[in-house]
Chains A and B, each alone.
Chain A
Amino acid sequence: MTSEVLPGTKANPAKRQKRPLALLLMSFRTFIALIVVFVFFSVTTPNFLDVPTLVIVAKHVAVNAILAIGMTFVILTAGIDLSVGSIVGVSGMIAGALLTRGIPVNIFDITIFPNVVETILITLAVGAGIGLVNGLLITRLNVAPFIATLGTLYIARGAALLISDGATFSNLVGDPRFDNTGFPFLGSGALAGIPVSIVALAIFAAVAAYVAARTPFGRHVYAVGGNERAAALSGVRVNLVKVCAYMISGFCAAFAGLVIASELVAAHPASGETFELNAIAAAVLGGTSLSGGRGTIAGTLVGAFVIGVLSDGLVMLGVSSFWQMVIKGLVIIAAVVLDQMQRRMYRRFALQAQLG
């Protein structure tokens, strides 16, 4: 996706036409890459275009893309959130614990079993709460985002293991006696024939794109990442904006954790390991700048699809998982190199336009 088409910069048609074709192609490079990998696998892999295959790919992408959408808000503020993978793990475990063990209330010697909706809401609140902790560490205690979220990465993963002493919560179907059945719907149910997780992705993407492009909060996120001092002097409450970005990221991660636990009908404490890196990769691939202020939700979405299609396609082609990693690494580096090239081209073009 383009990195210079920002919410603040609608493409000017008159200007666009004068741009060299190369620059135009560069602007849509991730989208072109998506088409290329898609066509490549359609040709080389026999069943790739079958609907069931596409649905599986899309379901894989959904988890990653939801994480990457939250991550995009954080990266837009020039931050980073390394804790999302652990939040995926801990939120699955919390949901698992609530469904199988409930909340023991010792004084009355009873156990409260929240229903599935309550379970989901509690889990999402915990995810956003971890994001709140990240945000407060970064803004109030002045810890660098990398370090603060590295810390919560370990803490949340440790907590996930502590909840069950490292064991897996299996068979999360609930119990009709406790009125907490129905959890698997999130991961394997369907709405109007479309899997719930894909519907959820569509909703997350639409809301996030709207928030980023069309709300004061979204604009503030871009301003904080573009120039924090200027934003502060313009009256933007920089700390509040940052805290909200981390809370959004934590919320998205908790939701992704629920989807995974629901798909597997089990919660495993190691679930979501290294997912933070996939989320960062999707955002960067989609043209989000790690120095903040540049990027779009649509770009991130395309980035997540490129990574998802690529990895599932390679599996179907029978490429070894070792080579898959090498290829994924190359794609990410190529994306950033192209991004830099495009920015240089754009600058040179702007200079020429001014001289000519």
Chain B
Amino acid sequence: MTAAARLEDEVILKAEGVGKVFPGTVALQEVDFEVRRGAVNVLVGENGAGKSTLMKILAGAVEPSAGRLLLRGKPVRFQSVRDAARHGIGIIYQELNLCPNLSVAENLSLVDPPTRFGFDIDRSRQIENARALLARLEHPIDPNQLVDDLRIGQQQIVEIAKALAADMDVLIMDEPTSALSAAEVEILFRVVRDLKAHGVAIIYISHRLEEIMRIGDYITVLRDGRRQADALVKDVSVEWIIEKMVGPSGLAPQGQGKRSGRQVLAVRNLSLPRAAGGFFVDHVSLSVEAGEIVCLYGLLGAGRSELFECLMGLQLQALGEVAVRGRNLAGASIASRISQGLVLVPEDRQRDGLVQTLSVRANLTLASLRRFARFFSLNTAREDAEARAMIQRMTIKVSSPEIEVTALSGGNQQKVVIGKSLMTGPSVILLDEPTRGVDVGAKAEIFRVMRRLADEGLGIVFSTSDLKEALGYADRILVMSRGQITGEFSRAEATEAALIEASTAALANEERQAP
């Protein structure tokens, strides 16, 4: 990069040597990050690289444990998101932060509603403001509509409008396009260019490298909580970004398993209807053999998690047939599905995977307690021994099984959740985004464990939105889009281009059909 280019745009916000330690993990170490006015400052990195933490520090949601922030050259400390907003820094979170029980207009002026004589809320002005904002985003959503009644894509637009409403100097966008259709992405890009022209500094976080190449000006790559590289987007290529993100220690593809021909999971015509019409899971049929790793590839919202939930019996409205080792699971409870040999490692381990108040041992044995029971009583010595054995087998880094599970790092927590499923003696294990929020080293290890389990005769299904994981670790790849299986590839047949095409197939169809 050239020195001249660096001087062109003024640095409005700067992070110097910023670090953050959480119980169990070091999320950020000595990171420098410069945010320039009138430019799109891209932040990329793998899951768990520290992007979210850095962004939360910049937005005032998290206080750094080391380093400092400089705003227009002056050191600042943000007490809260609200404090950061007062300094002109706004954020659009990936998870939607809207109140579903309020209308669009009310959401757009939630913090500071327009008032009459500083007293009661001026409803007509509130609606007018909302209409103006939505018009700027070329989205004629009715401001009186309840947010709950909007599609996810529309909610994302409202979220963006909310940030625009505040008139920020710095706007952080965390994966703003993850829930948007192609047409909505174009509108967003027009808004981003418009903001840029008005001198707003945009921090743009995305996994979609093609998008970054189109919209980005500056790029900073984070890896394992450290700044790996930064450059001008026009000087770099997608390959360069991937190389910097993954690094030499990145995931090496693994060998393939042998197919056993013994079917362990059979799914026929599985559907989950949507209340608003259509399907979350649209007549899915698939089968898995013992010893095989099947990848379910798809973008966010493709219906992968919903499919897993149907298989596990969490969705009571699900239709269709599920059989494990030939036994039909129709109407079976979660407990009986587990005893039939089907088990799920959920996507959100904090919400669905771990009991935070219990120890590593109690978490590991939770799904298989009956094995340790004599009549009413638990054989704690055996429980302890088996928990220790599982800690070794899964190479969980913990000094004692009695430590509370929340003290572990993300990767080790994930291994506890996987270990818990293994203790039930499953024949099929479903893993929903098993590497989310896990560092690179632990990722590789999780895939090694998966391969070993497959070699031991388990059928394994994992979902991912990461092409590299799909191409490098699965024996067979199923692509999902809008609730349907839109492609099936063996490892040899699969290419990045083919997977991407299949994963957007249903979207493209829909757009063609739209007027």
Contacts and interface: CB of A to CB of B under 8 A. Distances in A.
Interface of A: 4, 6-12, 15, 210-211, 214-217, 219-220, 222-223, 225-227, 229-237, 289, 292-294, 347, 350-351, 354-355
A227 B339 contact: no
Nearest to A5: B402
B370 to A, nearest CB: 6
A214 B377 contact: yes
A215 B338 contact: no
A350 B23 contact: yes
Contacts of A231: 355, 366
Contact of B402 (A8, A211, A294, A350): A8
Contact of B357 (A226, A233, A350): A226
Contacts of A4: 404
Contacts of B380: 214
B21 to A, nearest CB: 7
Given A226-B356, A233-B353, A219 B335 contact: no
Interface string B365-405: 11101101100111010000000000000000001101110
B335 A294 contact: no
B164 to A, nearest CB: 35
A229 B352 contact: yes
A92 to B, nearest CB: 31
Interface in B388-427: 399-400, 402-404, 407, 420, 424
Contacts of B344: 233
Interface in B157-187: none
B333 A227 contact: no
Contacts of A6: 357-359, 362
B362 A222 contact: yes
A235 B338 contact: yes
Interface centre among A7, A8, A11 (most CB of B within 10 A): A8
B246 to A, nearest CB: 27
A230 B359 contact: no
Nearest to B405: A8
Given A216-B373, A354-B23, A355-B21, A237 B335 contact: yes
B366 A219 contact: yes
Contacts of B363: 8
A289 B356 CA distance: 13
A59 B335 CA distance: 43
A347 B404 CA distance: 11
B451 interface: no
Contacts of B420: 234
A236 B335 contact: yes
B404 A354 contact: no
A214 B378 contact: yes
B114 to A, nearest CB: 36
A233 B420 CA distance: 11
B346 interface: yes
Contacts of A223: 355, 358, 362, 366
Given A9-B404, A215-B377, A233 B361 contact: no
Interface residues of B, number: 44
Given A9-B359, A9-B404, 5 more contacts: A8-B402, A214-B380, A219-B362, A289-B357, A293-B355
27 contacts: A6-B362, A8-B359, A9-B403, A9-B404, A10-B402, A15-B400, A214-B378, A215-B377, A219-B362, A219-B365, A220-B369, A222-B358, A222-B362, A226-B356, A227-B352, A229-B352, A230-B352, A230-B353, A230-B354, A233-B346, A233-B353, A235-B337, A235-B424, A293-B358, A350-B23, A351-B21, A355-B21
B225 to A, nearest CB: 15
Contacts of A289: 357
A214 B377 CA distance: 6
- The SS class assigned to the A binding surface is helix
A233 B432 CA distance: 13
B314 interface: yes
A257 B354 CA distance: 39
A351 B23 contact: yes
Across the A-B interface, the 3 shortest Cβ-Cβ residue pairs: A8-B362, A293-B357, A226-B357
B378 A219 contact: yes
Contacts of A7: 362
Given A219-B378, A347-B23, A350-B407, A8 B356 contact: no
B471 interface: no
A355 B339 CA distance: 42
B24 A354 contact: yes
A347 B337 CA distance: 37
Nearest to A210: B377
Contacts of A210: 377
Contacts of A230: 346, 351-355, 366
Contacts of B312: 233
A169 to B, nearest CB: 37
Interface string B49-90: 000000000000000000000000000000000000000000
Given A216-B373, A216-B378, A222 B402 contact: no
Contact of A233 (B23, B352, B372): B352
B291 to A, nearest CB: 25
A235 B334 contact: yes
Contact of A222 (B314, B355, B372): B355
Interface string B1-43: 0000000000000000000010110000000000000000000
Nearest to B345: A233
Contacts of B402: 8-12
A350 B409 CA distance: 13
A1 to B, nearest CB: 15
A235 B358 contact: no
A94 to B, nearest CB: 29
B23 A215 contact: no
Contacts of B356: 226-227, 293
Contacts of B362: 6-9, 219, 222-223
